[in-house]
Structure 1
Amino acid sequence: MKKVGITGQAGFVGNHLYTTLSLDDTIELIPFERSFFEDSKALEDFVSTCDTIVHLAAMNRHEDANVIYATNIALVDQLIAACEAKNVTPHILFSSSSQEINDNLYGKSKKEGKEKLVAWANTQKARFTSLTIPNVFGPFGKPNYNSVVATFCHKITHGEEPTVINDSEVGLIYINELVALFINVIKGTEKGTALSDFSTELVIAPKHFKKVSEILTLLKSYKKDYMENGIFPTLELPFEKALFNTFRCYVPQDHYPVKFTKHTDPRGSFVEIARTQTSGQFSFSTTVPGITRGNHFHTRKAERFAVISGKALIQLRKIGTNDVIDYYLDGKEPAYVDMPIWYTHNIKNIGDEELITLFWINEPYNPEDADTYFENV
C-alpha cells in the first residue's frame, strides 16, 4: 500500500487527483490541509507519513506578481525544511509549468522551485520528479482563474457573452489525461528524462490544439442544442467529449428538472426523451414503492434519468462533498435530470404506485470497463 499525500489537495488538479486515487485499492491517501503550511509540526507529521508527495500547492494569480513569486518559493522551502526536520525522503512530484521558460515571476517561481527540489534530492539521495504541465481544462475549474475553458463555460451557461481577446491556437490537456500521467509517475510506469542522478523531468505535451474561437463555437452549440433543446452532441471525439463533460458541470443547478413536451390524443400520450448526435444506450426500469436504485457515480459517462410514471426523488452529491441535491419528479409532468460525472446519484420511488424511469447513457454497459463506482449519496 503506497501512502500518497497531495499539497493543494483542495485545488483544481489536486481535487481531481485525490478523488481518482481514492478509487485505487493500492493507494492510501494521506489527508492534507492548507493550514499545514502555517503549522510546522503538522507539515512535518504529514511529510513523515508519506511515501510520495505531490506538491501542487501554489499561487497562480495575484495583482502583485512579487507575492506570487515569494509565496511559491516559500512553499517549496517549507516542504524541504519539513522533510529535513524529520530526516525523510519521500518521492516528491512537483507541478511545474510551461511558463518556467518565460520572463515572468510566476514562471521564475516554478523554475527556481524545481531547482531547489533537485538540489534537495541530490543531497538527500531522494527521488524527485518535475512535471511541466500545459494548459489544463476540466470539470470544476474556477472561471477567470484556472482556464479560458472554465471562464467560457461559466459565462455561456449563465447567460453572459464571452469575449475572444486573442484568437490564438491553444495547446490543452484534459484533467483526466493529466491525472493519468501523475498516477503513472506515482506508480513508476512513467519515468521522464534525467535531470540528475536522483531527479527526472517529464515535459507533458498538450493533447489537443484548438483556436480560442473554435472552443467558443463548440460551447455555444452546447448551450443551444443541449441546454435549450435537450440534444446531446456527438461524443465520439475525445476532445469534444471532454469539453462537453466540462460544460455540463457549469449548468446551473436550477436548470433541472427540465419538463418534457407531452403530446396527448385519444390513443394516449407520446414523449420524446432525448435527441442525440451520438451513440448510446436507452433503457427503462420499474421500481416498487420505497425502493432506491443507483448509489453510484461515473467518471466519463453522460447519463439521463427520465421519470414518466409515478413519483421519484433523485439525489446527487459531488464526490468529496457533503451537500446533497434533491430533485422531486412526478410522472404527471414528465421530466428528466442529467447526472454530471463525479456525482454519486440515486433514484427512489416515493409514491404509492410503480415508478417507471427511462434511462439514456452515451455508451453501452461493458462489465469489463463499467465506469461505475458505488457510493451512497
Structure 2
Amino acid sequence: MKLKVGITGQNGFVGKHLYNMLCLFPDEFERIEFKKEYFADLSSLDQFTSSCDVIVHLAAMNRHSDPKVIYTTNIALVESLIESLIRTKSKSHILFSSSSQESKDNMYGKSKKEGRELFIKWAEEFNGQFTGMVIPNVFGPFGRPFYNSVIATFCHQLTHAEMPVIQIDGELNLIYIGELVEEFIQQIRSKKSNLNYQVIHTAHSKVSEILSLLNRYKEDYLEKGGIPAINSRFELNLFNTFRCYIDTENHFPVKFTQHIDPRGAFVEVIRLNVGGQVSFSTTVPGITRGNHFHTRKIERFAVIKGKALIQLRQIGTDQILDFYLSGEEPAYVDMPVWYTHNIKNIGEEELFTIFWINEFFDPNDTDTYFENV
C-alpha cells in the first residue's frame, strides 16, 4: 500500500523540494495536494487531514516586521491543524518542522518550540503519532533571498550585480535541502514517533567563509565559464545552490572563443578545477536525446557542429526555456539541478556534441530521473 503524504507549506522552500522528491518514489508514496487556502476553509482542511497517512507540517512564517505576528501566525496554524485532526479522528503520522532557534530568545523560535509542545500534547491525549524535527539552518536551490537563508541572499546578490554585506560574521550549523529531505523521508518510512528528533547539521562554517567561496564561484564560473575546485560535499551543494540563482534564460547559451587559422579552428571547451567525465556524441537529424534531470550533478552540453535545440524546464513548473545553438558559433549550456533537459538535432546534418559531467557514471547511483521537458 502506498503511503498518502500531504505537506502543509507545499509550495515553500522545503515543501517544494520534499514534494518533488516524493514523486521519485511513485510505488511508495502518493502525494495529497495541499493549498494554503485550506487553513481558512474547515471543510477543505478536514478533507485533507482525513485523506493522509502522513502530514508534514511545514507551513509557517519566518520573517515579519512585527515579531509578534510571526508568533501568533505560527501558533494559529498549528492549532488549526490539531483541531482538524481531532474533528476527523485522524490517525496520520504528523511530522513537524521545528528549528534550532527553539533555544534562542526570539518569537520565531518560541513559536516553533510551543508548536512542537502543542503537537506532543495532542499525541498524548489522542494516542497520535508525532515526530518533532528540530532542524538547523537550511540552504539549497530556489530558496527565497532575504527570507530563507543568508546563503540565498548572497547567491541572489552575487548573480544580480549586487554587493553582499556581512552583518554578523557568525558560525552557522548547516544542512543542505537535499539532505534534509532525506531525513524527512527516513522518518516517514520509519512510521515511528520521535517527539524531539534532533536533525544533525552536515556542515559548519563562518558567514565570511561562505561568502569567500561564493565569490570564487562568481569569478571562476559566472565570469570565466570554468568549473571551480570542489573539495567537499558541502562545496558541491553550495556551488549547485549558487548556479540556481543565475538568470538561466538570459545567461545561456554562452559562446566559446574560436581561434581560426588556415588549418581550421580551435575552441577551448571547459577549464576544470574538478574531475569528471567527458563524452562525445553524434545525433542524426530529428532525434532528441535526454529528457531527464539530476539532483546533484553538474553537466555541460557543448555544440561544436550542426544545429541544436536545447530545452530546460524546472521540475514542478511549466515554463520551457529554448536555446538554439549552432556549430558555426560554438556555444554551451549548463544544466541546473532539478531542471529536466534535452537536446534535439534541428539541422539537416549530424549534430556533434561534447558532454561533460562532474562525476563518473555509476549504474547503481545514476542521479538521473527521466521526465519529458
Q: What TM-score does the superposition give when structure 2 sets the normalisation length?
A: 0.97
**Equivalent in the alignment of 2:173:** 171
Matched residue SS, 2:15: helix
CA distance in 1, matches of 2:287, 2:14: 37
Preserved CA contact (<8 Å) 1:173 1:206: yes
CA distance in 2, matches of 1:115, 1:364: 46
**Equivalent in the alignment of 1:80:** 82
**Equivalent in the alignment of 1:332:** 328
Matched residue SS, 1:209: strand
Deviations 1:163-201, CA, capped at 9 Å, x for gaps: 011112111111111111111100008x6xxxxxx6521
Preserved CA contact (<8 Å) 1:118 1:199: no
**Equivalent in the alignment of 2:17:** 16
Matched residue SS, 2:197: strand
**Equivalent in the alignment of 1:188:** 190
Matched residue SS, 1:251: coil
CA distance in 2, matches of 1:102, 1:216: 25
CA distance in 2, matches of 1:96, 1:126: 18
CA distance in 1, matches of 2:235, 2:102: 29
Matched residue SS, 1:67: helix
CA distance in 2, matches of 1:247, 1:184: 27
**Equivalent in the alignment of 1:195:** none
Query: Is 2:317 aligned against 1:316?
Result: no
**Equivalent in the alignment of 2:29:** 27
Deviations 1:65-84, CA, capped at 9 Å, x for gaps: 11111111111111011111
Large movers: runs of 4+ above 2 Å: none
Structure 1 unaligned blocks of 5 or more: 192-197
CA distance in 1, matches of 2:317, 2:96: 26
**Equivalent in the alignment of 1:218:** 213
CA distance in 1, matches of 2:89, 2:197: 26
**Equivalent in the alignment of 1:132:** 134
Q: 1:208: Cα distance to partner?
A: 0.9
CA distance in 1, matches of 2:208, 2:231: 21
Query: Is 2:358 aligned against 1:362?
Result: yes
Residue type matched to 2:9 in 1?
G
Q: 1:33: Cα distance to partner?
A: 0.9
Residue type matched to 2:61 in 1?
M
- Given the alignment, which residue of 205, 209, 213 partners 2:204? 209
Number of equivalent positions: 370
Matched residue SS, 2:152: helix
CA distance in 2, matches of 1:112, 1:202: 15
**Equivalent in the alignment of 1:239:** 234
Residue type matched to 1:311 in 2?
K
CA distance in 1, matches of 2:334, 2:314: 13
Matched residue SS, 1:284: strand
CA distance in 1, matches of 2:362, 2:230: 17
Query: Is 2:340 aligned against 1:344?
Result: yes
CA distance in 2, matches of 1:315, 1:154: 24
Matched residue SS, 1:10: coil
**Equivalent in the alignment of 2:92:** 90
CA distance in 2, matches of 1:333, 1:223: 25
CA distance in 2, matches of 1:102, 1:365: 45
Q: 1:235: Cα distance to partner?
A: 2.8
**Equivalent in the alignment of 1:143:** 145
Q: 1:236: Cα distance to partner?
A: 4.1
Structure 2 unaligned blocks of 5 or more: none
Aligned residues: percent identity? 62
Residue type matched to 1:330 in 2?
S
Residue type matched to 1:237 in 2?
S
CA distance in 2, matches of 1:38, 1:305: 47
Preserved CA contact (<8 Å) 1:89 1:124: no
Preserved CA contact (<8 Å) 1:16 1:179: yes
- Given the alignment, which residue of 257, 264, 267 partners 1:268? 264
Q: 1:124: Cα distance to partner?
A: 1.0
Q: 1:234: Cα distance to partner?
A: 2.2
Matched residue SS, 1:312: strand
Matched residue SS, 1:273: coil
Q: What TM-score does the superposition give when structure 1 sets the normalisation length?
A: 0.96
**Equivalent in the alignment of 1:120:** 122
CA distance in 2, matches of 1:236, 1:207: 15
**Equivalent in the alignment of 2:69:** 67
CA distance in 2, matches of 1:117, 1:212: 34
Q: 1:352: Cα distance to partner?
A: 1.2
Residue type matched to 2:100 in 1?
S
Deviations 1:92-113, CA, capped at 9 Å, x for gaps: 0001111112222111111111
CA distance in 2, matches of 1:153, 1:308: 31
**Equivalent in the alignment of 2:247:** 252
CA distance in 1, matches of 2:28, 2:229: 36
**Equivalent in the alignment of 2:56:** 54
**Equivalent in the alignment of 2:108:** 106
